[in-house]
Amino acid sequence: MRITLLHPPHTSIGSRVPRENLPPYGLLCVGGPLIDAGHAVQLINADLGPMRPAQIVREVRESRPDVVMIGHSGSTSAHPTVMTLARQIKQTLPDVMIIYGGVYPTYHWKEVLAECPAIDVIVRGEGEATTPKLIAALGGDLSRINGIAYRRDGQPHATAPAPMITDLDAYRIGWELIDFKQHSYWGGKRAVIMQFSRGCPHLCTYCGQRGFWTRWRHRDPVRFAAEIARLYREHGVEMINLADENPTTSPKAWRAFLEAMITEDVPVQIIGSTRADDIVRDADILHLYKAAGCLRFLMGLEGTDEATLTKVKKGGTRAKDRLAIDLLRAHGIIGLCTFAVGFEEETDRDYWRILRHLLSYDPDQVMSVYATPHRWTPFFQTVKNRRIIETDQRNWDYKHQVMEVPQVPAWRVFLWVKCIEICLQARPKALYRTYFHPDPDMRHAMQWYTRMGRRVVLREVWHWLKRRQRAGVSVEAFLGSTTLPEKALDQSGSMKR
């Protein structure tokens, strides 16, 4: 079949401000197996530009597809755009099959199929194994394909969950679908997104990683390093942005990867996310992190008081957070610390406390996020009665306030967050590291992030001024009650009550 993979344009601040574009890794993961199954596959990355809807529909039409598959990693905030494009594509190509995948449709499959007739099938969960089977079954009985949702007798119907992929190296990435010269990050460095692992063993209440990926798994460390080295040698890739939630979970596997990267001896820089606990655990091998090319790790502090960390089941402590920042700096690695607001019924005093704690941490870089409710997380149950102040889901990108804070008006929450960021980034220590750091790679990274930060703040202020937020319906009324039963996960990755 002729299959067009469509990566829709993303309206989030994080996608638009950098003026650089990373390739759509999820669609590439699906594209490789489809090509290997004998299909003619084409990728339309509408996030480049970004492309306007009319141009997107025109390019889809010109690709003459039998099937259009749509997906985006920014699943919730991209969903309204996906719905609009699906309707326009179906109107132009009424006979084309439209398949939709990602986190949001995985959990909201019933509403999506009920509200958007243009969507024919939803792939739930991992797509590498499911999509080739689905394509082969089109026109026949779809009930035997696990991991999908479709309409049966006119009503949304979901099949059993697909088995978890145990061997992440079994399905190759369709790198041939992209032009590497179109993708950069970090101020012009040729870059791609990759995953060493999937899932997370921790139980943070606000995160859906455990539910979507079922359990933590990793690629073969040596093969993963070899693939990175090949991308550098054949395509000039200079930077790898790890999409893992927690790549350092297994000390043995992570060390094997670091050593394999050192053996490959390629000047590739690696950035990603991890936990402060893992950095402290790996204090004696952080020199291997640096030698392997690790340049920056993002660590989510979420709340800087122990009560909040306990409530959201983060599992961290302030002492470990502070030590992790110091250890990374001592080894020439940037520590980017995120802080979140919205987990508690906060007061002005809480924001003042956050500022004081962050100043004591002395992070290299800092980034704010707003707690955002998702129906598939335990966090949803704790905030379902809070009122929504942002009804446009295109702005559910963690850089816009979504829920009210009952004791602090939204405008003052916004001012507090910006004040915290400015105080942290304008410290003499931070300015010195940004403009006079002796390591040129570190200096470049710090200055690039500072430039992006200024533009993000300007974009946030502009968005704030041009819209008027008023508390409306509850989170539960806006998103609907959860349709998923409380579930436990067995070791095979299947779901049970």
**Alpha helix stretches (DSSP H) within 338-439:** 348-361, 378-383, 410-425, 428-436
What would the pLDDT profile of 213-266 be if each residue is shown by its tens digit? 778 899 999 999 999 999 999 999 999 999 998 999 999 999 999 999 999 999
pLDDT over 50 (residue 38): yes
Q: How confident is the model at residue 208 (pLDDT cuts 50, 70, 90)?
A: low
pLDDT value of position 374: 87
Q: Are 254 and 224 in contact (CB under 8 A)?
A: no
What would the pLDDT profile of 455-486 be if each residue is shown by its tens digit? 888 888 888 887 766 668 898 999 887 644 33
Residue among 100, 128, 130, 107 at smallest CA distance from 211: 107
pLDDT value of position 18: 79
Q: Which residues contact 118 (CB under 8 A, 6 or more apart)?
A: 83, 86, 87, 89, 90, 91, 98
Q: Are 4 and 60 in contact (CB under 8 A)?
A: yes
What would the pLDDT profile of 270-290 be if each residue is shown by its tens digit? 999 999 999 999 999 999 999
Least reliable range by pLDDT among 23-37, 137-151, 373-387, 437-451 = 373-387
Q: Are 70 and 99 in contact (CB under 8 A)?
A: yes
pLDDT value of position 207: 67
Q: How confident is the model at residue 344 (pLDDT cuts 50, 70, 90)?
A: confident
d(CA 193, CA 182) in angstroms, rounded, equals 13
d(CA 370, CA 353) in angstroms, rounded, equals 17
What would the pLDDT profile of 412-459 be if each residue is shown by its tens digit? 999 999 999 999 999 999 999 999 999 999 999 999 999 998 888 888
Q: Are 359 and 424 in contact (CB under 8 A)?
A: yes
Q: What is the DSSP letter of 285?
A: G
State the distance between the two ends of the chain, measured CA to CA, in whole angstroms. 38
Indicate the pTM of the whole model.
0.91
